[in-house]
Amino acid sequence: MSLSVMLSQLGSGMLKSMGIFFLTLIFSLPLGLLVSFGRMSKNAVLRTIVKIYISIMRGTPLMLQLLVVYFGPYFLFGMNIGGSYRFTAIIIGFSVNYAAYFAEIYRSGIESMPVGQYEAAKMLGYSKGKTFFKIILPQVIKRILPSITNEVITLVKDTSLSFALAYAEMFTIAKQIAAKETSFVPFIVAAIFYYIFNLVVALVMERIEKKLSYYQ
Amino acid sequence: MKKKLIGVLMGTAVAAVALTGCGNKKSETEAPATEKTTEAAVATEATEKTTTAEEGVLVVGFDAEYPPYGYMDDNGDYTGFDLELAEAVCALEGWELVKTPIDWDSKDMELNSGAIDCIWNGFTRDGREDDYTFSVSYVDNSQVIVVAEDAGIDDLAGLEGKTVGVQAASAALTLLEEDQKELADTFAELQQFADYNSAFVELQAGSIDAIAMDIGVAQYQIKSRDGFQILDESLNAEQYAVGFKKGNEELAQIVNADLQVLLENGTFDELAEKYELTDMVCLAEAFDDAEAETEAVTE
């Protein structure tokens, strides 16, 4: 296999990895906020349920969770899973897992806000929703951005875990080419691809951070 | 107000999930629909042939890291002896072949959950008869030991006190854990690994002394690497067949009939030659045996 074919194959795998990456972020970032509300809820039942959810998501390997999401419908309900469920399962698995991590990051940000701000907002006649979205959330985002960047970079690398479901993302393809070529070159190329992608992610996040640091 | 906010967020999340869910379902239902129309035309001519693979699609599960039976070729397409054979069967039936690379460890789950219709990938039949419905055997395989040429290991007895590598969930592993357990007990360690690439690097680096694997794959590997040899003494003799979900006799019968056609019109032997497996194929013998059996019964 020529290097150009290898690059184009890994490139197409990279696109699939990026698909997992972006879809996971789109679903897990809002879902994480929701989960963090549940985690901080005054309702003890909801809070406990969410606590258990976070505990399971963080306490078991993502690879295992992917297998459960993909094969679960068959083992639990005897459902016949079609081929196209593979990708859906990956997105569900990743989103639900990452939402748990993001939720805790959101919580750390929200709980770090001084009570005085809520009181001041109340004095000024802000409603609770308005207080949260106009005053609290913008500051929270600024504070948690470095932690979010951490998770996002981890996510780039974690997309390789979908090899467990043999989804043809970059790592799976690298493994297949390596087997065919009986060489390790595809892995080195894959490593470079991952690194470049993460470099871009880090740069973008840094730029966002700078943009948000309007008080410095 | 907070409740309202949560409601709104939950709503969007649900909507988003529903949207993607629908999106996927749509493409799922759309694809077979178009196939069905084309298939309907075929079906009217070919009468009842399409009863098993309902949508005219045969989903073959294979390990894409298993040359020469199933692997990625120079152009990045999946190919191999088994996949081309599957393609020929699909051409006969007017089915569409869907090549689905699977993680070998998950092959049972993939098959039982219906994600794939069959495992067609140098799949050892011996010892698995109770777990799958098999087609006729088409390749005579044996499990062999690969060692470095300069290791000074010439026979199975020479493996005493050595570390032997074997692929997880492979036939070689089952063999070493059951029929050849006595031999395996003489090893210092039986090391499981995920793919042959890493195993060969370990062998090269000296962290393992030998690898137990299928002869066809072993030949492919030592052809593209220097300094390895296959021990003359093999662990066993066994056969490859296509594995279907236990009880799916219908699909097995169709594939058997097609394999016979492919054998008679020479396609099978051509493919065997292409992948340098001529010495190993046994489809003709398998059919002869079956014939002899039925003759014996009728007599």
Contact A176 B196 (CB under 8 A): no
Q: How far is CA A137 from the centre of its chain?
A: 19
**Which positions in chain A touch B100 (Cβ < 8 Å)?**
83, 166
Helix (H) or strand (E) holding B182: helix B181-186
Task: Please state whether the predicted TM-score (pTM) of the whole model is above 0.90.
Answer: no
pLDDT in tens, A71-94: 988 888 887 776 678 899 999 999
CATH of the domain at B206: 3.40.190.10
Across A119-129, average pLDDT: 94
pLDDT at residue number A78: 80
* A1 vs B: CB within 8 A: yes
Query: Which of B114, B196, B197 comes nearest A80 by C-beta?
Result: B114
Interface subset of A 17-46, CB within 8 angstroms of B:
23, 26-27, 30-31, 33-34, 37
Q: Do B131 and B178 fall within a single domain?
A: no
Looking up tokens 């979010």, which residue turns up?
A: A148
For domain A3-212, give the CATH number. Answer: 1.10.3720.10
pLDDT at residue number B44: 35
Across A3-27, average pLDDT: 94
Across A30-55, average pLDDT: 96
pLDDT at residue number B198: 85
**How large a percentage of chain A has pLDDT more than 70?**
99
Q: Do B68 and B131 fall within a single domain?
A: yes
**Chains A & B: contacts with CB separation below 8 Å:** 127
Instruction: Please list the ranges in chain B whose pLDDT falls under 50.
Output: 1-52
Q: Which residue of B has its CA nearest to A6?
A: B76
pLDDT at residue number B23: 39
Contact A179 B5 (CB under 8 A): no
Across A25-49, average pLDDT: 96
Among A57-61, A125-129, B143-147, B222-226, which is the least confidently predicted range? B222-226
Q: Do B82 and B127 fall within a single domain?
A: yes
Does B46 reside within a domain?
Answer: no
Say how far apart CA B60 and CA B243 lie, in whole Å. 10
Task: Quote the minimal CA–CA distance from B101 to chain A in Å.
Answer: 6
The two three-digit tokens of residue A97, written as one number: 């897992």
Q: Do B276 and B204 fall within a single domain?
A: no
Task: Quote the minimal CA–CA distance from B288 to chain A in Å.
Answer: 35
**Which positions in chain A touch B2 (Cβ < 8 Å)?**
37, 128-129, 132
The two three-digit tokens of residue B77, written as one number: 């397409």
Query: Which of A84, A166, A179 comes nearest B103 by C-beta?
Result: A166
Q: How many CB atoms lie within 10 A of CB B75?
A: 11
Task: Quote the minimal CA–CA distance from A83 to chain B in Å.
Answer: 5
Does B35 reside within a domain?
Answer: no
Across A36-63, average pLDDT: 96
Query: Which of A74, A128, A178 comes nearest B113 by C-beta?
Result: A74
* A91 vs B: CB within 8 A: yes
Q: Do B227 and B249 fall within a single domain?
A: no
pLDDT at residue number A194: 95
Helix (H) or strand (E) holding B294: helix B283-298
ipTM (interface pTM): 0.76
Contact A179 B24 (CB under 8 A): no
| Count of domains forming chain B | 2
Q: Do B146 and B230 fall within a single domain?
A: yes
For chain A, where are the alpha helices, taking DSSP H only?
Answer: 3-39, 44-59, 62-77, 85-111, 115-123, 128-130, 137-158, 170-181, 185-212
The residue out of B223, B238, B253 marking a domain boundary is B238
**Domain ranges (residues) in chain A:** 3-212
Say how far apart CA A86 and CA B114 lie, in whole Å. 12
Mutation target vs B (from A81, A182, A184, A185; most B CBs, 10 A cutoff): A182
Which residues form the domain of B72?
A: 52-138+241-298
**Which positions in chain A touch B64 (Cβ < 8 Å)?**
166, 172, 176, 179
Q: Which residue of B has its CA nearest to A31?
A: B13
Across A89-113, average pLDDT: 96
